[in-house]
């Protein structure tokens, strides 16, 4: 019995004595103090029981294993091999009376630790854990992608608003300039008659004063003549004013008619835009090898066959503006950026955005050849005849580990902490510390490009023109020679282990079914496949990158 952090001795508790247990009996399922342990070992009935330390018991304390039948409440003591079912003494006659291979559990559990069932369980747990981690990675990637999409939409909204504001500002300025020009024209016409009237007013004012003075101080003859002369002058002026007024006898009223689209924008448009969500079935490849194996035997998994697989072009880029180009490898980073290995004397990796914009050139230790992902934060690069492999961080491309090898190194792939390096003579397996683990002797000795999965290796053999699939130990599963694929080079796989391979001479991209029994040409020279060299597939987004040797590369969606 456990009490806090202590486990009490079971036999002592039975006689109302509390003592801490030092050992645990897995058969009796109770703790034992030192004295009771000695008695336990002396007893003929219990001397062969397995005793473990309390520390070890702590590791299995919360492992839920029922030893009692849930239907009858009796101890599970029998096992039916035919039904792979554990039974109690009541189950045997009630449901398994006719079964010929019901045996005691004790007889079948002797070597349980070395059993295939336990190995399969451990492998299944590991595989399921990898599946879950892959799904987590996929959903995290999806979440990040959603964040990018949100930012992109927000950018579009802000850019649209800025564009609309700019257009409205331009229209407003144009309209106000037109208003000013029109107003100035009308004012000019008003001012013309106004100046005439004011001039007449000033003249008439003077004539009035002169007439008053003439009346007061001039002689009768002067008044007589002056009256007629001034009257004639006033008449002439009056006639002139009438003519002027008749010519400009207009009032001007300024109004505005707002364009109908702008009226709609201000009065009728109720939404800036509409956010839509398109849904598609995500490619979460959660598989159970046992179930998959069973399905393969009954030919169920049609989703792993290739007839309906197609490529949708997203965009193409051309690096021909560069002086020297010879592309030998490529990889799609989790952030969508593309890293290309340019195997010339420039000694550079080249990074591009997913929209084809050149981000930077990355100086490296030699002529880079192969390149692959280790995890979201690291890539690994090979340097051909320089016999060097480098592990780099993807944020700033600093070298974490530089590994020197005994032979040349070309294509490279990573799986479960191991690097599989094609060295032109076979496949070298090393760990991430650089320790050489083994050289696979069963594979071809003319390998340049390679791709690994959790349980297989795929590679192209340029001398035999074949594509191979083998176990991680090099034991071959299948090989395929396709007449339409001449000089197979770059190779990659999808989640279903379908193989994508480029034909350097045949200028095409071909997909080979996971079992090697069928193939299909996806791209030809008419699609721009002119001496394709390298290919990579991002399994999380089903995005395929393919490059030719002279810097033309294209991004496709696998559907």
Q: Which two tokens stand for residue 54?
A: 């309390």
Q: Do 1-65 and 304-558 show the same overall fold? A: no
Domain boundaries, the chain: 1-65, 78-108, 124-267, 304-558
Burial 208-237 (b: 16+ CB within 10 A, else e): eeebeebeeebeeeeeeebeeeeeeebeee
Which pLDDT value is given to residue 304?
55
Q: What is the model's pTM?
A: 0.50
Q: pLDDT tens, 12-34? A: 999 999 999 999 998 888 999 99
CA-CA distance, 146 to 123, in Å (whole number)?
34
What fold is seen in the domain 1-65? 30s Ribosomal Protein S14; Chain N (4.10.830)
CATH topology of domain 304-558: Neuraminidase (2.120.10)
- Tens-digit pLDDT profile for residues 234-245: 888 888 888 877
CA dist 152 and 431 (Å) reads: 40
Its sign, for the CA torsion 460, 461, 462, 466, is negative
8 A C-beta contact, residue 467 and residue 460 = yes
Strands (E), 46-101: 51-53, 76-80, 85-88
Residue 151 has pLDDT above 50, yes or no: yes
Please check whether residue 540 is in contact with residue 526, taking contact to mean a CB–CB distance below 8 angstroms.
Answer: no
Q: What are phi and psi of 380, to 5 degrees?
A: -130, 140
pLDDT for the residue numbered 301: 35
Q: Are 489 and 449 in contact (CB under 8 A)?
A: yes
Residue 136 has pLDDT above 90, yes or no: no
In which element (H, E) is residue 223 found? helix 220-247
Please give the Cα distance from 422 to 209 (Å, whole number): 119
Using CA atoms, how far residue 248 sits from 185, 204, 239, in Å, is 13, 22, 15
Furthest C-alpha separation in the chain = 171
Over residues 313-326, mean pLDDT: 81
User: Residue 247: its pLDDT value, please?
Assistant: 67
Q: Over the stretch 347-401, which tens digit does the pLDDT of each residue have?
A: 899 999 888 888 999 999 899 999 999 988 899 999 999 999 999 999 889 999 9
Nearest alpha carbon to residue 434 among 472, 386, 402: 402
Q: State the pLDDT confidence band at 162, using cuts at 50, 70 and 90.
A: very high
């Amino acid at each position: 019995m456990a009490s806090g952090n202590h486990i009490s001795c079971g036999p002592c508790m039975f006689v109302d004595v509390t003592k801490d247990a030092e050992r645990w009996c897995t058969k009796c399922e109770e703790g034992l103090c030192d004295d009771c342990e000695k008695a336990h070992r002396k007893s003929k009935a219990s001397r062969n029981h397995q005793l473990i330390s309390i520390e070890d018991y702590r590791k299995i304390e919360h492992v839920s294993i029922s030893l009692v039948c849930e239907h009858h409440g009796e101890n599970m003591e029998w096992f039916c091999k035919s039904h792979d079912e554990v039974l109690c003494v009541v189950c045997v006659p009630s449901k398994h009376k006719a079964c010929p291979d019901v045996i005691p559990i004790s007889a079948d559990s002797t070597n349980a630790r070395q059993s295939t069932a336990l190995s399969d369980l451990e492998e299944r747990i590991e595989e399921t854990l990898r599946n879950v981690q892959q799904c987590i990675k996929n959903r995290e990637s999806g979440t990040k992608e959603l964040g990018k999409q949100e930012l992109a939409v927000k950018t579009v909204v802000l850019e649209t608003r800025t564009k609309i504001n700019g257009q409205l500002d331009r229209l407003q300025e144009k309209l106000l300039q037109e208003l000013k020009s029109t107003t100035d024209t009308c004012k000019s016409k008003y001012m013309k008659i106004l100046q005439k009237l004011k001039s007449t007013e000033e003249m008439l004012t003077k004539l009035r004063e002169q007439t008053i003075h003439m009346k007061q101080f001039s002689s009768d003859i002067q008044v007589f003549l002056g009256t007629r002369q001034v009257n004639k002058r006033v008449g002439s002026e009056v006639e002139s004013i009438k003519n002027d007024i008749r010519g400009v006898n207009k009032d001007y009223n300024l109004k505005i008619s707002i364009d109908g689209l702008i009226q709609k924008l201000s009065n009728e448009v109720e939404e800036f835009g509409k956010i839509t969500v398109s849904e598609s079935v995500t490619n979460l490849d959660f598989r159970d090898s046992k179930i998959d194996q069973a399905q393969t035997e009954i030919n169920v998994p049609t989703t792993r066959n290739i007839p309906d697989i197609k490529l949708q072009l997203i965009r193409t880029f051309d690096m021909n503006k560069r002086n020297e180009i010879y592309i030998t490898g490529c990889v799609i980073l989790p952030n969508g950026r593309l890293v290309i290995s340019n195997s010339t004397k420039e000694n550079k990796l080249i990074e591009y955005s997913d929209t084809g914009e050149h981000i930077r050139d990355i100086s490296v230790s030699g002529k880079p050849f192969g390149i692959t992902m280790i995890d979201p934060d690291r890539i690994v690069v090979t340097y051909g005849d320089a016999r060097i492999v480098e592990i780099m961080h993807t944020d700033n491309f600093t070298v974490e580990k530089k590994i020197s090898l005994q032979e040349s190194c070309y294509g490279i792939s990573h799986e479960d902490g191991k690097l599989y390096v094609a060295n032109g003579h076979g496949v070298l397996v090393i760990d991430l510390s650089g320790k050489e683990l083994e050289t696979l002797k069963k594979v071809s000795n003319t390998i340049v490009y390679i791709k690994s999965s959790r349980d297989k290796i795929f590679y192209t053999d340029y001398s035999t023109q074949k594509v191979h699939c083998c176990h991680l130990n090099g034991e071959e599963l299948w090989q395929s020679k396709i007449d339409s694929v001449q000089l197979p080079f770059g190779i990659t796989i999808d989640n279903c282990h379908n193989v994508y391979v480029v034909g350097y001479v045949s200028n095409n991209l071909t997909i080979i079914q996971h079992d090697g029994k069928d193939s299909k040409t996806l791209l030809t020279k008419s699609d721009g496949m002119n001496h394709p060299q390298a290919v990579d597939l991002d399994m999380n987004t089903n995005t395929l990158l393919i490059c030719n040797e002279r810097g033309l590369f294209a991004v496709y969606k696998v559907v």
